[in-house]
Amino acid sequence: MPRTSALAGWTLISLRPRHRHGAVRRAAAAQGARVLAVSPFELQALEAGAPLQDALRCPIRIASSPAAAAFAATQAPLHGDWLAIGTATAKALRRAGADRVQTAEPQNADGLLALPILSDCRGQHIGLITAPDGRGLLEAALPARGAQLHIAHVYCRQALDLPASVHRGLHALAPNTAVLVSSRAAFAEFWRQLDAGERAIIRDTLCIASSARLLEYLQGLDIRRVRCAAGTQPAAMLAAVQETIAAHECEG
């Protein structure tokens, strides 16, 4: 008989943008878990114009997310070599016509910044395809290393009011629940809309952060049960939940 997943019966709260929970749903369903989709944002295209052309002419080009690659591809061809935060972004770049795409481990901004090509980039022109108010680390770290950074904002995040069904769902959460946190901006907007009672519930709910920086942010909100995943991909986030379950069973 097939072995039952440790995630069977768990609820995973996904904070991805509206209409972008599909990958999380598929990964969760394969493990017998359900997804509570909570979208603090929806994504909207921005016409980047000249900044996008400037970024595409750079010898080093970075896409910060699958959405960045997809929205940019509607405005210009994405040929040539790229750096990508994660395999999902790499796939989106290849679909858009990129020739070669390099990713890093861990699959987040910290991993990308550890690549040799970005470790010493003094005087290099680097194009960054992203959204305003996004990850932020690349925008700060690359100029600090001496790079000439050309940023193209090809989409933006439009805040959404959480529906009443989400608030009711939070009050009915079972103990076997985890919040998947891959974006500080998304969690901050989610947190802003919670009342004191709902925040108390989340503080006692397992939260999976996709990076050490996000983990520290969550700890700063006094969230008590936190664990760091190896990246933003659903598989990495779910693996961190499984590791937490296994560690709890060992302690028990």
Sequence-separated (6 or more) residues with CB below 8 Å from residue 226: 206, 207, 208, 209, 215, 218, 219
Which residues span the domain enclosing 240? 1-40+160-181+199-205+236-252
What pLDDT does 104 receive? 87
pTM: 0.85
What pLDDT does 134 receive? 57
18/60 same-domain check: no
116/92 same-domain check: yes
Q: What value, to the nearest 5°, has the Cα angle with vertex 25 and ends 3 and 231?
A: 85
What pLDDT does 251 receive? 61
145/169 same-domain check: no
126/137 same-domain check: yes
Round to whole Å and give the CA distance between 24 and 20. 9
What pLDDT does 135 receive? 56
To which residue do tokens 């390099």 refer?
A: 102
Residue 91, phi then psi, degrees to nearest 5: -65, -40
- All residue ranges of the chain with pLDDT < 70 are 1-3, 134-135, 251-252
Kindly state the tokens that stand for 94.
Answer: 């290849």
66/127 same-domain check: yes
115/136 same-domain check: yes
What pLDDT does 26 receive? 96
To which residue do tokens 């600090």 refer?
A: 144
101/60 same-domain check: yes
**Amino acid, single-letter form, for residue 38:** V
Round to whole Å and give the CA distance between 97 and 9. 40
What pLDDT does 50 receive? 97
69/130 same-domain check: yes
CATH code, domain with 141: 3.40.50.10090
Kindly state the tokens that stand for 116.
Answer: 């040799």
Instruction: Determine, yes or no, domain membership for 98.
Output: yes
What pLDDT does 3 receive? 53
47/120 same-domain check: yes
120/16 same-domain check: no
Round to whole Å and give the CA distance between 245 and 208. 12
Q: How many domains would you assign to the chain?
A: 2
What pLDDT does 54 receive? 98
Round to whole Å and give the CA distance between 229 and 151. 28
Q: Counting every residue, how long is the chain?
A: 252
Round to whole Å and give the CA distance between 144 and 76. 29
Secondary structure letter of residue 42 according to DSSP: E
110/149 same-domain check: yes
Are residues 96 and 73 in contact, defined by beta-carbon separation less than 8 angstroms? yes
HEC profile of 70-97: HHHHCCCCCCCEEEECCHHHHHHHHHCC
